[in-house]
Each structure stands twice: as structure tokens, then as C-alpha cells.
Amino acid sequence: MEFRKNMETTLAGLTSLLGVNAVIISDMEGNKAYSWYRTDLDKRDIRTSGEELVSMLKFSQALGVNSNIGGLTNVIVRGSRGVAILAPLRDSFILFVSADQRANLALLLVRIRRAAERLMGILGGERLGGEAYLSP
């Protein structure tokens, strides 16, 4: 129970944003460690699995290395109804945020970075690919 409360407190800056409808934390084996949905309809409609998150992150890491853009900080997928964002939490976990078109993408990315910093302190793990996830 305390873990869930710590997560809710840590993620409050994200879950309070207009348009955010889901937050999921998955480990690198695809197991969901935490999930939050704004409504039961969001829970029904957002069917993203932990395995899908891991697969997308690994694919994007390879693209980042091959395109020489540096260490991966976010994967952003925009669609006609909203945006899905993945943020690696070192080598151990993935933060997934889903938001509809009402969300302010710039503010959402700032809040994701802030939440990721806090989550890495709670969850631990190794640095992603040997690089620091966030700049000092």
C-alpha cells in the first residue's frame, strides 16, 4: 500500500495535467509495476502491454544509436487522437504516459522528466545504455 501511495505522490504532477489519461510503469520483462487510468473507459480503451512498451523502447534505442542522436530520453508517438510517450527509467523500468489532444506536449515532457528523476530515485536500476538519462 505504501508503494502505491509513493507512486501516486510522485506522479501527481503528471496525472493532474489536462489530457493525461494513463500512466504505466513496466519493468524490462514487460511486467506492469504500476498503472493509473483517469477513468474506467480509459482503462478499457488503453490496451498497451508491458511487452509492447519494452519492444518499442528497444526498437527506438537502436534507431537512436544508428541515427547518432545521442542517448534516448523519450519516445514520442503522435496520433490523430493524442500522444503516447515512453521514458526509460535507467535500464530497469519504462514510464509510459498516454494523453489526448488537449494535453500541452511541452508541459507534458517537462513533467515526465521531473517524474522520471523522482522515479529513478525510488525504483533504482542502472543507467540506460551506460549513459546518464538526464543531463546534470
- Region 63-88: mean pLDDT is 89
All structural domains of the chain, each given as residue ranges with its CATH number in brackets, are 2-130 (3.30.450.30)
32's grid cell:
506492469
Tens digit of each residue's pLDDT (9 = 90 or more) over 7-35: 888 899 999 999 999 999 999 999 999 99
- Region 49-73: mean pLDDT is 86
Q: How confident is the model at residue 120 (pLDDT cuts 50, 70, 90)?
A: confident
User: How does 90-129 read in b/e, with b if 16+ C-beta sit within 10 Å?
Assistant: bebbbbbbbbeeebeeeebbebbeebbeebbeebebeebe
**Do 46 and 26 meet the contact criterion of CB atoms below 8 Å apart?**
no
Separation of alpha carbons 81 and 55, rounded Å? 22
DSSP code per residue over 17-29: STTEEEEEEEETT
